[in-house]
Chain A
Amino acid sequence: MSALSQAKILICDDSMMIRKKMRSLLEGYGVTNISEAKDGKEAVEKYAEVLPDITFMDIVMPEMSGVDALKAIKEKYPDAVVVMATSIGTEGNLTEAIRYGASDFLQKPVEEERLKKLLGHYFKEA
């Protein structure tokens, strides 16, 4: 298990505000290597470019949905850790995301405690 401060994290969300808030929370945990993508298509491209340790993926996004981006990433990188971060955590969406290999689910609005607990599963010092 590597240290959280050394982690490479990719935030995929079409909302500038959500990206900003997530970045700020992660920076608060000492993470410095943070990349962002504003839609599903960019998420797939960015993933290949930075090979993050963990990716936070929104579901409703333009160009390509988060579930399609997850599918594309997992096809090429089966070990990718992708956490779906969304407000539409319906049974249907979650089942679909799990089927395509999502590692976890983060309900929006993101609660700091829940994010911290989740990061603790993957990194030291979370």
Chain B
Amino acid sequence: MFTQFFGSYLLNKQIVSADNLKKAMELKSSTRVKLGVLAINAGYMTAKQVDAVHKMQATVDKRIGDIAVEMGYLTPEQVTELLSAQKTGCLVLGQTLVDMGCLTNEEFEEALNSYKSEHHLEDEDFSTENEKKAGNVIGSFFKLSKTANADLISEYINILLKNLIRFIGDDFAPINECAVQPTDTAVTQNISGESNFVTSVAGSDKAMIEFASRYAEEQLTENDEYTKDVVSEFLNLNNGLFTVNVSNNSGKELKLSPQQACTADKVAKLKAKYTVKVPVAFSFGNIVFTICEV
């Protein structure tokens, strides 16, 4: 999920546009991370050195690694190490944006380093999906520090984002704001226990149809009862896995109510103690999840 938040970071800092980010999210599955990006990430080469190697490659018929060694930027051992290094999602996204011409190597270097330093992230956190740090990134992005039940909400968002990656796709970025039309379709489900929550998911017809198509693994064409049923089942599955997690971690038993389809304005009018919105921008459109404590 650090990849998705790297996308959000690039968007929030206005380093890339929403359209280009969506396009990169769509294209990244076919991207091959090149040696230059790997070397920048490992701190073995600066972006300027990578650019110099690329410039040289245009004039000689040699591999990038060999040129970098000849120019004294890398040792042969470092080349071998980099080529077998794990290509984490952030690097794939960065490489896609560089390939698209939306980022220079230098801008990528700067953005990746500031993203890592802002959230105190190390390379190994990316490959192990460090839970504690994921919680910190979620808390900071959704400004949960002043929210009651912040740990529980953060756990909910963590599970939600993991389930989105697992069942819908990794081509999304959490965003701060996203307007939902009052007439947009929504599905709600109550979670009750020591505290009571109303969870929901809402989106435009187009976004809901594509979201449901991916979850059901069949191409749906209308926002009909079946599409709402599929979205509703995703919410139920997510909330079910959340209750299992809470039960395993803290021994607290939460109950779920059957889901209900409604419109987004009904969710907006709920009398809640507080509401946390989790809008996510997929390449096919925006989907907004909400968690309200009632």
Which residues of A are at the interface with B, using a C-beta cutoff of 8 A?
Answer: 14-18, 60-62, 86-93, 108-109
Q: B236 to chain A: which residues have CB within 8 Å?
A: 15, 60, 87
Q: Which residues of B, 236-258, contact A by the 8 Å Cβ criterion?
A: 236-237, 239-241, 243-244, 247-248, 253-254, 256-258
Q: Which residues of B, 94-137, contact A by the 8 Å Cβ criterion?
A: none
Given A62-B258, A90-B243, A90-B244, A108–B237 Cβ distance below 8 Å? yes
Interface class of chain A by DSSP: loop
Given A15-B232, A18-B233, A86–B258 Cβ distance below 8 Å? no
Whether the Cβ atoms of B233 and A92 lie closer than 8 Å is no
Can you report 28 residue pairs joining A to B where beta carbons are below 8 Å apart?
A14-B258, A15-B229, A15-B230, A15-B233, A15-B236, A16-B229, A16-B230, A17-B226, A17-B233, A18-B233, A60-B256, A62-B258, A87-B236, A87-B237, A87-B244, A88-B240, A88-B243, A89-B244, A90-B243, A90-B244, A90-B248, A91-B247, A91-B248, A91-B253, A92-B247, A92-B253, A93-B253, A108-B237
Name which of A62, A87, A108 has the most chain B CB atoms within 10 A of its CB.
A87
A14 and B259 CA atoms in complex are apart in Å by: 10
Smallest CB–CB gap between A88 and chain B, Å? 4
Residue of B nearest to A108 (CB): B237
Given A60-B256, A60-B257, A61-B258, A88–B244 Cβ distance below 8 Å? yes
Identify which of A17, A60, A92, A109 contacts B258 (C-beta below 8 A).
Answer: A60
Which residues of B are at the interface with A, using a C-beta cutoff of 8 A?
Answer: 167, 215-216, 225-226, 229-230, 232-233, 236-237, 239-241, 243-244, 247-248, 253-254, 256-258
A93 and B239 CA atoms in complex are apart in Å by: 14
A47 and B236 CA atoms in complex are apart in Å by: 25
Q: B248 to chain A: which residues have CB within 8 Å?
A: 90-91
Whether the Cβ atoms of A86 and B232 lie closer than 8 Å is no
